[in-house]
Amino acid sequence: MSPTHIEQREKRVIPDRLGTPLRRMLASWEVLLFGVAVLIFIANSLASPYFLDAWNLSDATFNFTEKAMIAFAMALLIIAGEIDLSVAAIIALASTAMGYAVQMGVGTPGLVAIGITTGLACGAFNGFLVAVLRLPSIVVTIGTMSLFRGISYIVLGDQAFGKYPADFAYFGQGYVFWVFSFEFVLFLAMALAFGILLHKTNFGRQVYVIGNNPLAARFSGIPVERVKFILFLLTGLMSGIAAVCLTSRLGSTRPSIAQGWELEVVTMVVLGGVSILGGAGTVVGVVIAAFVMGLVTFGLGLLNVPGIVMSIFIGLLLIITIALPIVARRIKHARKA
């Protein structure tokens, strides 16, 4: 067979391996996850007669909206090949700063500004250590996780700050329309904003390139360190916003606030199809994963399942979602071999 015929044969075979757009869509992780969400919704509606109540479903959104807002920023950070395990501690520190400020008589606008600014400052500190000093993000954020929450414990001790202004409660307890809470509307707005940022802008394309090959990204002229610094700023910003919403919803500040949320946020991101190794993932997947985790935890709550069982479930879910793609790739390679 001549070289020309071989080339023509290869050109015919390679596109066929990619499959049709419909086939690729049906085989995507997001579609599979959406099917899981539908099955969980049906199972919950059959397991409890109270599940389909509109106000109960509205209450279910409080299980994931604050975590999901952080997960959007965390998704971009993990796609870029980094991670931030200090997000829950940033919430604690931002809440402590707001609690301390309210004792000084600061009003609602000032409290919101303090909470968001504290989150940004923590994100900038993490970004400086990782992007400028080039320290490993997992080591840095484990350290700042202890640092930020430790400051909260030093300031608060065993006490709790309360007596927040009445209008401050709107951010965590208010409703924009009917059963649609302010938090849920904010969650949808953030999902749209991060979806556009990641999938429709040059910045989002740079995030993917950095996650796939940071060295090649540098040679391509992409400001890798600056992009990573911005991503840590975004993670701090979203943690500050989550701190405002959570503190508003609880009406008080304690040093143990948001304890263990870093695990749930990372689980939400990985469950949404974001590769823990970087370079792949979508905001749509994270949105669906947020609903899946929210539906599961709310459904278990309606069945009076203890919180420790939910923690075990989340831990197992994280292990499974990380291990499943790796095992699948190994099986695929073994079959080819």
List the CATH number of the domain containing 166. 1.10.3470
pLDDT value at position 162? Answer: 82
**Average of pLDDT values for 32-58?**
87
Q: Which of 6-15, 30-39, 117-126, 323-332 has the lowest mean pLDDT?
A: 6-15
For residue 318, pLDDT beyond 90: no
How many independent structural domains does the chain possess? 1
For residue 33, pLDDT beyond 80: yes
pLDDT value at position 26? Answer: 56
pLDDT value at position 8? Answer: 44
Global pTM reads 0.88
pLDDT value at position 210? Answer: 94
Q: Are 115 and 98 a contacting pair, CB within 8 Å?
A: yes
Q: Which of 13-27, 151-165, 237-251 has the lowest mean pLDDT?
A: 13-27
Q: Which of 90-99, 138-147, 224-233, 313-322 has the lowest mean pLDDT?
A: 313-322
Residue 320: both structure tokens together:
């499974």
Q: Answer yes or no: is 118 within a domain.
A: yes
Q: Answer yes or no: is 40 within a domain.
A: no
pLDDT value at position 246? Answer: 95
Measured distance CA(81)–CA(211) in Å, rounded: 5
Q: Answer yes or no: is 321 within a domain.
A: yes
The residue count of the chain comes to: 337
Q: What is the pLDDT of residues 69-121, one digit of tens each?
A: 999 999 999 999 999 999 999 999 999 999 999 989 899 999 999 999 999 99
For residue 10, pLDDT beyond 50: no
User: Is the model more confident about 292 or about 329?
Assistant: 292
For residue 176, pLDDT beyond 90: yes
What contacts 126, CB < 8 A, 6 or more positions away? Answer: 84, 86, 137, 140, 141, 144, 232, 235, 236
pLDDT value at position 15? Answer: 42
For residue 298, pLDDT beyond 90: no
Domain extent, residue 176, equals: 50-336
Q: Answer yes or no: is 73 within a domain.
A: yes
Q: Answer yes or no: is 21 within a domain.
A: no
Phi, psi of 175 (to 5 degrees): -125, 135
User: Is the model more confident about 325 or about 255?
Assistant: 255
**Average of pLDDT values for 201-227?**
92
pLDDT value at position 312? Answer: 82
Q: Are 125 and 135 a contacting pair, CB within 8 Å?
A: no
Q: What is the mean pLDDT of the chain?
A: 87
Q: Answer yes or no: is 157 within a domain.
A: yes
pLDDT value at position 13? Answer: 40
Q: Answer yes or no: is 281 within a domain.
A: yes
Q: Answer yes or no: is 237 within a domain.
A: yes
